[in-house]
C-alpha cells in the first residue's frame, strides 16, 4: 500500500475555503480532513471534534511543549495546531490528508514535509471578500477589518504555494482542487509502481 499524500490548503478568512473543502470531502474518496485544535470559541454551527477540537490555552500550550503539533500558529489572537500523530496515522493507512491551515502553519509544514502539495485559495477581489465576511454576521466591523488586513498580508505568501486558485465560484474552485488531488494520486501511484506508460506512435 502506498502512503497517502498531504495537501496544505490556505486562504484569507472569508474566502469560502470551508464550503469548498466540505464539498470536496463529500465527493472524493480516501480523503481525510485533519481536525485542528484551537483555543477560539466555536461558532454556532460548529461541533467539537468535527470542525475543530476546541481546547483552552493551557491545554494547547501543554500539547505544544510536548511536541504534539505538526504545525501551530497564532491567528487573530487565537491558537491553532495540527496533531502530528493523527496526520501520520492517516497517511500511513494510504489516506490523503487535507490540512486547512494559515500561511504560518503552511511554512512550518513546507520546512519538514517537502513533498506536501500546497494550494492557496484567493478571493476574486477585496470588495467581494469584505461582502462575504459581512454576510456571515458573526464578526464585528473591527474584526472584519482586522481579517481583511491580515488577508492582504497572507496574499503576499501566495507565491510560495504550488497552486493558486481564484475562488470566483465554489463549484469551479472545487473542480480545480479535485483535479489537483487526482493528478497527485496518479503521479504518486505511477512512481510507487515504477510504471511508464507506452504511448502508441
pLDDT digits (tens, 9 = 90+) for 125-178: 878 777 777 776 666 778 777 778 888 888 899 999 999 999 999 999 999 999
pLDDT digits (tens, 9 = 90+) for 73-114: 888 789 999 999 999 999 999 999 999 998 988 999 999 877
CB of 24 closer than 8 Å to CB of 178: yes
Domain boundaries, the chain: 6-191
Q: pTM above the 0.85 mark?
A: no
Strands 6-10 and 37-38: unpaired
CB of 35 closer than 8 Å to CB of 52: yes
CB of 15 closer than 8 Å to CB of 136: no
User: How far does CA 132 lie from the centroid of its chain?
Assistant: 19
pLDDT digits (tens, 9 = 90+) for 125-137: 878 777 777 776 6
Predicted local distance difference test score (pLDDT) of residue 198: 46
Fold held by 6-191:
Rossmann fold (3.40.50)
Rounded to whole angstroms, how far apart are CA atoms 85 and 74?
A: 21
Amino acid at each position: 500500500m502506498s502512503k497517502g499524500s498531504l495537501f496544505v490548503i490556505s486562504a484569507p478568512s472569508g474566502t469560502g475555503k470551508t464550503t469548498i473543502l466540505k464539498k470536496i470531502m463529500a465527493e472524493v474518496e480516501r480523503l481525510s480532513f485533519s481536525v485542528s485544535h484551537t483555543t477560539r470559541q466555536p461558532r454556532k454551527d460548529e461541533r467539537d471534534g468535527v470542525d475543530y477540537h476546541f481546547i483552552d490555552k493551557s491545554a494547547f500550550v501543554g500539547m505544544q511543549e510536548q511536541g504534539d503539533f505538526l504545525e501551530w500558529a497564532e491567528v487573530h489572537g487565537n491558537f491553532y495546531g495540527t496533531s502530528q500523530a493523527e496526520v501520520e496515522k492517516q497517511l500511513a493507512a494510504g489516506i490523503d490528508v487535507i490540512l486547512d491551515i494559515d500561511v504560518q502553519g503552511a511554512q512550518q509544514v513546507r520546512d519538514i514535509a517537502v513533498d506536501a502539495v500546497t494550494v492557496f485559495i484567493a478571493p476574486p477581489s477585496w470588495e467581494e471578500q469584505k461582502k462575504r465576511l459581512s454576510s456571515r454576521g458573526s464578526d464585528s466591523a473591527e474584526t472584519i477589518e482586522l481579517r481583511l488586513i491580515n488577508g492582504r498580508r497572507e496574499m503576499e505568501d501566495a507565491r510560495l504555494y504550488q497552486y493558486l486558485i481564484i475562488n470566483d465560484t465554489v463549484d469551479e474552485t472545487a473542480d480545480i482542487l479535485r483535479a489537483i488531488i487526482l493528478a497527485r494520486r496518479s503521479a504518486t501511484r505511477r512512481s510507487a509502481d515504477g510504471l511508464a506508460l507506452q504511448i502508441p506512435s
